Structures are given as structure tokens and as C-alpha cells.
């Protein structure tokens, strides 16, 4: 690596300033928005990769990728350039960068008094490095003692990444240690830096293998620093000022693309296990699942077919039905649909070398090619070797989509589960089609799962043009929220995983992946003991994705009814999930439409309370519901810190009010998940504890937790048909409320808009048991309000 040192102003463009560095490199600083700048380095005036698939500020990127120098979708405000003898500054009203000599950047924001204040800076000693004789880039920033770091997508350990080193190199990390294993499945080199009530985001748009050091590394010759290093590709980063953590997260989503809105049924319980589809009588096993759900009164909306349905012997062959295991797939899907359950099928992007269709695909040139021979690249995959499909080849996309429609949708499959898509191809020079411009895999490896899920999504849309698609993907990169729901991969069964998976999910949520969850009960290892299983389900029902999935080492199956002695507690937890469906669905719509995270660390809405930045097992579901999961064995009481706020908190069950800014101890018997509600909030709920059916969901309750004194609060509920995009044509209902309280009364003003008419024709307002003030709805003393 060679440092970049001396620069001179090369040109001032309407939207960027360009420097020439060391007489051969171009260094551009783009002004994209008032508080969003971008730095792009062109090594010897050239880009290693002239396209990106992650940046989508206004609409999805073209299949071939978005040109790196495309500025569409950004506000592109005017900026002020001032040059001094050994520095220059570029500023908007909200953000300034000062370029110092030798090359290093200093970032400033205007404080409350209008004074420019430094919040970030490059290391003054060799901030930028390029490999002059090959690949590789590095960027060093100053690290300040008060800095805390969040983000990085799916990572193990604590939510605060301070003092750790992480790697982005997508791996199939089955059975990982949720407290320490790294790397994992996803590639999101995005950090949120928080210090002294200010925050900024930093996203490196580079898809090669990456290391981010956030304080693990020390060097006596330099002041404390943080390091970003990539093995190939371009140095291209976006820096945006908050000032709050929530502002940074929402800006990152707007930069990389909005969250897809899946159908309502995707929020229901989804059953899954490798055991059923691996069994020689897989279809019978699957049919029994329907019967067992009914027998044990467990609501369920979908089942995920693991890859055993494609097997020949012990191996897996995508788009191949094993008709000995599943003799009549259409009958299978029909039975599930009649029971109110959808089916998602596991698909993989690699064909083993003995796949019945391998030669067909090879002859069409649909695989990623070996770097040194005119043949497909081969990598280890599922205890054999196989070749990975090249989704930068339009012919591959067409082949894939044809098979999704013919081999899955035509058999009644409702959804695709895009799995094992880490693309562990270690020949970095393996050749990808690149839509006609060949690209080595080392530059775009995480793009392959992104394009795979997009291909699957568009196939589903073509087959069911009026239905919102629902997809799942394990691997991917920034921007995957545009297509799929995701989860934390093949976790291991133990209490430690339960604790740290929650932090992993919140880390993903802070990184723009709002629709997330975990394999409840643990995927690998021996079966969970009854207490752990109950606590895991109680935690799982409070995540957007709720799936019990397993491939237990002891050949058992994680199922809700696996322990009769705790089945009532499990049924109660799943029932609570279904009663909260209106709340979940409103949060899902807010995630898709308003870029609001569903899972939230407690500090996200309470930055003023420094106690909320302590590592904790608590989290918020939306802004209003505080979840205090029990993550330790034999714990029957739970200490909970209630964030400081103006209104206080209610116990969800008893209606007892507590002041914020204090730690309380609450009962946590095995059958109870401690929950608290922000005072002033309404939690919309249903009385239905069955699979999602908009015609049978005919009651709506607004559980109101009013402020004790004088106050005013607002909120809303969203509902629609649950499966089409007609809500975009006003075929939805938005029920908005304003709540005003004083010592004698609670007054709710309800208004609605939208043309959709739900099965529920009224709303019932339910108050805490010890609340005795008079309730008025739209001026009338009543507890029920009819939709007009």
C-alpha cells in the first residue's frame, strides 16, 4: 500500500470538487445533499468497477447496475468552495469538509450557535492508501475516546462495536457463536458513529472482502485511528451527518433503497425444519404438521420447505422434485392452502457437478467461469463440488426465472427462500459475465445473492402480478431490503445465542435491514430444553420474522408442541403475536413507507438518557412497546430499565404506571414475557388468534395507555387487503388519532382516510383497569367508534 499525499485543485464542477493527487490519482468530493457528501478515488484516473448495485436514492438500480458517476436521485445543492494556501473547504449550510495538505479530510457541522465544529477527521498521517502494483485500498480515520460505533449489519457480540475488528467475507457459518464468530453471512460496511449527542454515518460502497477495525488495532506512530481496508475495488464512501442515530439509519435506507412491503401473512408464524423434507416420507410428515397445528391449537401462516424436497441421495439439487419423498406437490400445496398456510421453497444458486441439469446449464454458459480455463468455476458446496450461477448474465436470469415459475409457482409454491447464497468462490479472478462487461468475482461477490433474490422476486411478480411478493434470503449486501426479509442464519442452540441474536437483529435494523428475525429454538446443536424453548419463542414473537427452524444434532425437531408441559406458555406467546398483528402490520407499513425501524435499541428514541446506551437485553418494537426478554435460565424476575421520558411507562398486562428513568423489578414467571408500553400510546390489537384472514379478522381494539396528567399524543393504524399494491391507489385505511388528557378526561379525536373497507367495522378503546377518567371519542362519551 502506498499513501496518497500531495494534492492540487484539478477542477470545480457544479456537483463536485476534483483534486489531483501525487500527479496521477483523481480524488473527488461530491456534494449530494445538505448533510450528505461522497468521496471517490480514481486510481490513476480510472475506476476498478464503474457500477454499483447498492446505491438507489430514488428507484431501483438497473439490472446492469447504476453507473458510479450517476448523480440522479440526489438533491445536489449549491455549495461554497474556499481555497487557502494549504487547504480548501467545501460547505453547505449543514456540512463542511476541509481538505488539508498532505491529504486528509476534516468534517464539521454548525453547532447551535452557528460555529463550525469538527465531528470527524481522517488520520493526519497517511489517511488514504492504494496498492500501486495490484489491488487493495485503505482509509484511516481519527478515533476519538468518546466514540461509540454501531451498524455493520449482521455481526456477533455486543451492539456497540467499539474496540473490535470485523471482516466482511460472506460465509456459511453454520452453528456460529453469536458472541464472537466473524465473519458471517452479509456484507454491509456501514457504521454509525455516536459521540456527545451527535452521530454520523459512513458507508463504503465496495463489495470485495473487507476489514473494518474500530479500535482493536494500535500503532505508536499514529494517533488512535479506525481502519477500513478492502482487498480490491474502489475507495468510494458516503458520509452523512445525523445528528441523531435514527437520522443516520433513515438516511442510509434512503441511500440504498426502501424496504419492500410483503403480504400481511408474512408476519404470521412460519414453521420449518430440515427433518420433514429430509424424511423418506416428506409429504406425509408435512401433512402431519397441518394436523398437529390444528390439534394443538397453534396458529400458523406458512411453512418453509427445506432443501430435502430436491434431494437425490443425501445431496441437494435445485429445481429438482424428489417424487419419492413428495409424490404429489400440487396436492401438498392445495392442502396447505386449504388450511390457511402458504409454502416457501428453499432454492440454492449452485448446481453440484452431478446435478441432472449441470451439462445443460454449462453448455448455455450460465455459470461463473474459471479464471484460467474455458470451463465453469468449481467450488466446494454441500459436501461436493459445484458451479455457481452467474446472475450478471441475462441468460442465467431468464433460466432461473423460468424454473422459479415452472418448478415452484406452478406447483403452488407461494414464496422463494433464497438460501446458501454466500458465493464462497475463492478464485478471486473467476470471471462473471457482467452484462457484457466481464468482472472478476472478487469485485462483486455479494452482488450475486442480491441479483439472485431480485430474479426470484421478479419471477414471482410475473407469475402473480397482483400479489405483493414475499421472499427470504440469508446472504446479501446493502440494498437487499428492497427485495427480501432476512434472518441471522444457522445459529446454535444455547442461552448465549438467545441473548446475542437479539443484539444481532438490532444491529441489522440499525443498518437498514428492518424485516429480520432468527431461527427460534436454535438451528444446530441438540434440542433446546423446555425453559430455553419457551423463552426463545417469547423473544421470537416480538421480531418481524417469527420462524421456528431446526436441524438438530440429536435428530429431534423443534416444534411448538415438543414439550407438553410448557405448551400452554408457548400457545400464549404465539397467541399474543397474532393479537398484536395490527400493531406489527402498521410497523411494517411504516418501515416500507416512512423508513422507520421496527426493532429499535432503547437509545434510538431516548438519546437524552445516557443509560439507554448501556448494553442491554431490552429493545423496543416500534416506538411504543418495550420488550424485556428473559435470556437467562431459572430467572423468574426481571430487572428492566425504563427510559426517561415525559410520560412514563405502563406494564402491558397489569396497567400499572411507572416513571421513566428508573430500573424496576418485574415478575417474569415462565409463561410471561415482560412488556411495557410508553404512556400516551395506543397499541392496536385483534382478538383473532388464527392464521391471517382479512375477512375473519372482524374486530379491532385500541389499547390506550394514557398520560396521567395534561398531555397530547398522536399515532395511527394502517390496514389494507394484506396482499396487493392497491394501497398505493388509496385502497387502504389510515386511522389517525390525537389523544388529549387532563385530570378529568381522556379525549380521542379519530379520523380516517382511504377507500378500503376492512371486515372490522368499529374500534373499541380499552383503558387500563385502574383508569377512571371519562373517555370521549370525537366528542362523544363512549368506548366504541363506528367506521363511517
Q: At what angle do helices 567-579 and 530-540 cross, to 10 degrees?
A: 0
**pLDDT tens sequence across 346-405:** 999 999 999 999 999 999 999 999 999 999 999 999 989 999 999 999 999 999 999 999
Q: Determine contact, residues 481/256, Cβ cutoff 8 Å.
A: yes
Residue 585, in any domain of the structure: no
Nearest to 376 by CA among 391, 393, 388, 392: 388
469: Cβ contacts below 8 Å, ≥ 6 apart: 260, 262, 415, 457, 460, 461
Asked whether the beta carbons of 343 and 302 are under 8 A apart, the reply is yes
Which triple of cell numbers denotes residue 210?
473487507
Q: Is the domain of 744 the same as that of 623? A: no
Domain-terminating residue out of 205, 222, 256: 256
- Give a yes or no: residue 549 inside a domain: no
What is the domain-level CATH number for residue 613?
2.60.40.1180
- Residues 690, 656, single domain; the answer is no
* CA distance linking residue 479 with residue 58, whole number of Å: 12
> 530, 547, 535, 545: which is closest to 497 by C-alpha?
535
Residue 6's Cβ-side half-sphere holds a number of Cα atoms within 13 Å equal to 3
With residue 105 as reference, give the H or E element that holds it: strand 104-110
Please count the structural domains in the chain. 4
pLDDT of residue 615: 98
Q: What is the pLDDT of residue 383?
A: 87
Segments in the chain below pLDDT 50: none
Sign of CA pseudo-dihedral 464, 469, 473, 477: positive
404 contact partners, CB below 8 Å, separation of at least 6: 347, 416, 455, 456, 459, 460, 463
pLDDT at 788: 80
- CB burial class (10 A; 0-12, 13-18, 19+) of residue 39? buried
Whether residue 98 contacts residue 106, with contact meaning beta carbons closer than 8 Å, is answered with: yes
Do 93 and 78 touch, CB atoms closer than 8 A? Answer: no
* Among the listed residues 165, 251, 262, the one whose alpha carbon sits nearest the alpha carbon of residue 510: 251
Q: What angle separates helix 282-295 from helix 329-338, to the nearest 10 degrees? A: 10
- CA proximity to 242, closest of 151, 117, 159, 119: 119
Domain shared by 741 and 719, yes or no: yes
DSSP line for 715-781: EEEEE--SSSSGGGGT-SEEEEEEEEE-SSEEEEEEEEE-S---S--EEEEE--TT--SEEEETTEE
Q: Is 215 in the same domain as 338?
A: no
The domain boundary, picked from 232, 256, 280, lies at: 256
* Cell numbers at 604, concatenated: 434510538
Domain boundary among 645, 678, 711: 678
Residue with cell 436441524: 551
CATH number at residue 33: 2.60.40.1760
713 with 670, same domain: the answer is no
Angle at CA of residue 346, ends 351 and 284, nearest 5°: 115
pTM of the complete model: 0.97
DSSP class of 698: -
| Residue at grid coordinates 430436491 | 310
Q: List % helix, strand, coil for the chain (3-state, nearest 5).
A: 20, 30, 45
Assigned C-alpha cell, 127: 489517511
Asked whether residue 539 is assigned to any structural domain, the reply reads no
Q: Are 20 and 11 in contact (CB under 8 A)?
A: no
- Closest among 721, 445, 712, 684 to 581, alpha carbons compared: 684
C-alpha–C-alpha distance, residues 643 and 155, integer Å: 25
Answer yes or no: do 198 and 138 share one domain: yes
> Does a cis peptide bond (omega within 30 degrees of 0) precede residue 39?
no
Does a structural domain hold residue 326? yes
CA angle 107, 111, 113 (to 5 degrees): 140
Q: Is residue 506 part of a domain?
A: no
Is residue 367 assigned to a domain? yes
As given in the structure block, the three cell numbers for residue 459 are 419471477
Do both 137 and 175 map to the same domain? yes
> 3-state class of 12 per DSSP?
strand
Domain that holds residue 434: 260-267+299-487
With H, G, I as helix, E, B as strand and everything else as coil, classify residue 568: helix
| Same domain, yes or no: 217 and 311 | no
**Residue 368 within any structural domain of the chain:** yes
pLDDT value at position 617? 98
β-strands 545-548, 649-651 pairing:
unpaired
Q: Rounded CA gap, 413 and 329, in Å?
A: 9
Same domain (yes/no): 241, 371? no
Whether residue 348 contacts residue 307, with contact meaning beta carbons closer than 8 Å, is answered with: yes
Q: Is 505 within a domain? A: no
Range list of β-strands (E), 536-658 = 545-548, 599-600, 618-621, 625-628, 637-642, 649-651, 657-658
Q: Please give the Cα distance from 41 to 416 (Å, whole number).
A: 39
* Closest by CA position to 61, among listed 201, 200, 205: 205
Same domain (yes/no): 672, 706: no
Angle at 658 between CA 654 and CA 659, to 5 degrees: 165
Q: Are residues 673 and 686 in the same domain?
A: no
pLDDT in tens, 201-248: 999 999 999 999 999 999 999 999 999 999 999 999 999 999 999 999
| Same domain for 763 and 639 | no
- Dihedral sign for Cα 150, 155, 159, 162, please: negative
**CATH code of the domain covering residue 441:** 3.20.20.80
| Residue 288 neighbours by CB under 8 Å, 6+ apart | none
Amino acid at each position: 500500500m502506498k499513501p496518497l499525499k500531495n494534492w492540487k485543485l484539478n477542477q470545480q464542477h457544479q456537483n463536485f470538487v476534483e483534486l489531483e493527487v501525487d500527479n496521477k490519482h483523481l480524488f473527488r468530493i461530491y456534494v449530494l445533499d445538505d448533510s450528505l457528501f461522497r468521496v471517490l478515488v480514481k486510481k490513476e484516473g480510472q475506476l476498478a468497477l464503474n457500477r454499483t448495485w447498492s446505491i438507489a436514492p430514488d428507484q431501483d438500480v438497473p439490472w446492469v447496475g447504476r453507473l458510479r458517476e450517476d448523480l440522479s436521485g440526489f438533491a445536489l445543492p449549491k455549495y461554497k468552495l474556499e481555497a487557502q494556501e494549504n487547504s480548501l473547504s467545501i460547505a453547505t449550510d449543514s456540512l463542511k469538509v476541509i481538505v488539508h495538505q498532505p491529504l486528509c479530510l476534516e468534517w464539521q457541522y454548525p453547532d447551535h450557535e452557528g460555529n463550525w465544529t469538527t465531528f470527524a477527521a481522517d488520520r493526519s498521517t497517511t489517511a488514504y492508501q492504494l496498492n500501486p502494483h495490484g489491488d487493495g485500498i485503505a482509509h484511516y480515520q481519527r478515533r476519538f475516546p468518546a466514540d461509540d460505533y454501531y451498524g455493520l449489519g449482521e455481526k456477533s457480540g455486543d451492539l456497540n462495536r467499539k474496540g473490535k475488528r470485523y471482516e466482511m467475507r460472506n460465509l456459511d457459518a453454520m452453528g456460529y457463536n453469536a458472541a464472537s464468530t466473524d465473519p458471517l453471512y452479509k456484507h454491509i460496511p456501514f457504521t454509525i458513529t455516536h459521540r456527545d449527542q451527535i452521530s454520523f454515518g459512513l458507508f463504503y460502497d465496495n463489495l470485495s472482502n473487507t476489514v473494518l477495525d474500530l479500535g482493536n488495532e494500535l500503532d505508536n506512530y499514529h494517533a488512535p485511528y479506525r481502519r477500513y481496508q478492502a482487498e480490491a475495488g474502489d475507495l468510494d464512501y458516503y458520509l452523512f451527518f445525523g445528528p441523531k442515530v435514527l437520522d443516520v439509519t433513515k438516511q442510509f435506507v434512503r441511500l440504498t433503497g426502501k424496504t419492500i412491503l410483503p403480504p400481511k401473512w408474512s408476519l404470521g408464524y412460519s414453521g420449518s425444519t430440515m427433518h420433514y423434507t429430509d424424511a423418506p416420507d416428506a409429504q406425509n410428515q408435512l401433512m402431519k404438521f397441518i394436523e398437529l397445528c390444528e390439534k394443538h391449537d397453534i396458529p400458523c401462516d406458512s411453512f418453509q420447505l427445506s432443501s430435502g424436497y430436491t434431494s437425490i441421495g443425501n445431496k441437494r439439487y435445485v429445481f429438482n422434485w424428489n417424487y419419492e419423498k413428495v409424490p404429489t406437490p400440487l396436492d401438498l400445496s392445495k392442502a396447505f392452502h386449504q388450511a390457511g398456510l402458504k409454502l416457501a421453497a428453499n432454492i440454492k444458486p449452485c448446481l453440484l457437478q452431478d446435478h441432472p441439469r449441470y451439462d445443460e446449464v454449462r453448455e448455455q454458459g450460465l455459470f461463473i467461469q474459471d479464471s484460467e480455463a474455458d470451463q465453469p468455476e468449481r467450488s466446494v458446496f454441500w459436501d461436493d463440488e459445484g458451479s455457481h450461477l452467474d446472475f450478471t448474465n441475462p441468460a442465467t436470469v431468464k433460466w432461473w426465472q423460468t424454473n422459479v415459475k415452472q418448478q415452484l409457482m406452478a406447483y403452488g409454491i407461494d414464496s422463494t427462500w433464497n438460501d446458501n447464497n454466500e458465493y464462497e468462490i475463492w478464485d478471486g479472478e473467476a470471471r462473471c459475465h457482467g452484462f457484457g462487461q466481464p468482472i472478476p468475482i472478487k469485485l462483486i461477490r455479494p452482488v450475486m445473492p442480491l441479483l439472485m433474490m431480485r430474479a426470484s422476486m421478479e419471477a414471482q411478480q410475473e407469475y402473480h402480478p397482483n400479489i405483493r411478493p414475499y421472499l427470504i434470503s440469508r446472504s446479501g449486501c446493502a440494498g437487499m431490503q428492497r427485495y427480501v426479509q432476512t434472518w441471522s442464519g444457522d445459529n446454535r442452540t444455547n442461552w448465549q445465542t438467545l441473548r446475542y441474536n437479539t443484539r444481532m437483529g438490532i444491529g441489522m435494523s440499525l443498518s437498514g435491514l428492518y424485516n429480520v428475525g432468527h431461527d427460534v429454538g436454535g438451528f444446530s446443536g441438540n434440542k433446546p430444553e423446555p425453559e430455553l424453548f419457551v423463552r426463545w419463542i417469547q423473544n421470537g414473537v416480538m421480531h418481524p420474522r417469527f420462524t421456528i427452524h431446526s436441524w438438530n444434532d440429536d435428530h429431534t425437531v423443534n416444534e411448538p408442541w415438543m414439550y407438553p408441559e410448557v405448551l400452554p406458555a408457548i400457545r400464549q406467546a404465539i397467541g399474543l403475536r397474532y393479537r398484536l398483528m395490527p400493531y406489527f402490520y402498521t410497523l411494517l407499513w411504516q418501515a416500507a413507507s416512512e423508513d422507520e425501524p421496527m426493532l429499535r435499541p432503547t437509545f434510538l428514541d431516548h438519546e437524552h438518557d445516557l443509560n439507554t446506551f448501556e448494553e442491554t437485553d431490552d429493545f423496543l418494537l416500534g416506538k411504543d412497546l418495550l420488550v424485556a426478554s428473559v435470556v437467562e435460565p431459572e430467572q423468574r424476575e426481571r430487572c428492566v430499565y425504563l427510559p426517561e421520558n415525559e410520560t412514563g411507562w405502563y406494564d402491558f398486562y397489569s396497567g400499572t404506571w411507572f416513571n421513566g428513568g428508573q430500573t424496576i423489578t418485574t415478575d417474569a414467571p415462565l409463561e410471561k414475557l415482560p412488556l411495557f408500553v410508553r404512556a400516551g400510546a395506543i397499541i392496536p390489537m385483534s382478538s383473532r388468534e388464527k392464521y391471517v384472514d382479512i375477512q375473519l379478522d372482524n374486530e379491532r381494539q385500541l389499547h390506550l395507555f394514557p398520560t396521567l396528567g395534561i398531555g397530547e399524543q398522536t399515532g395511527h393504524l394502517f390496514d389494507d387487503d394484506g396482499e396487493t399494491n392497491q394501497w398505493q391507489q388509496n385502497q387502504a385505511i389510515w386511522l389517525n388519532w390525537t389523544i388529549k388528557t387532563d385530570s378529568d378526561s381522556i379525549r380521542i379525536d379519530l379520523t380516517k382516510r382511504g377507500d378500503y373497507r376492512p371486515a372490522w367495522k368499529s374500534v373499541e378503546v380499552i383503558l387500563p383497569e385502574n383508569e377512571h377518567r371519562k373517555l370521549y371519542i370525537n366528542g362523544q362519551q363512549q368506548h366504541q367508534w363506528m367506521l363511517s
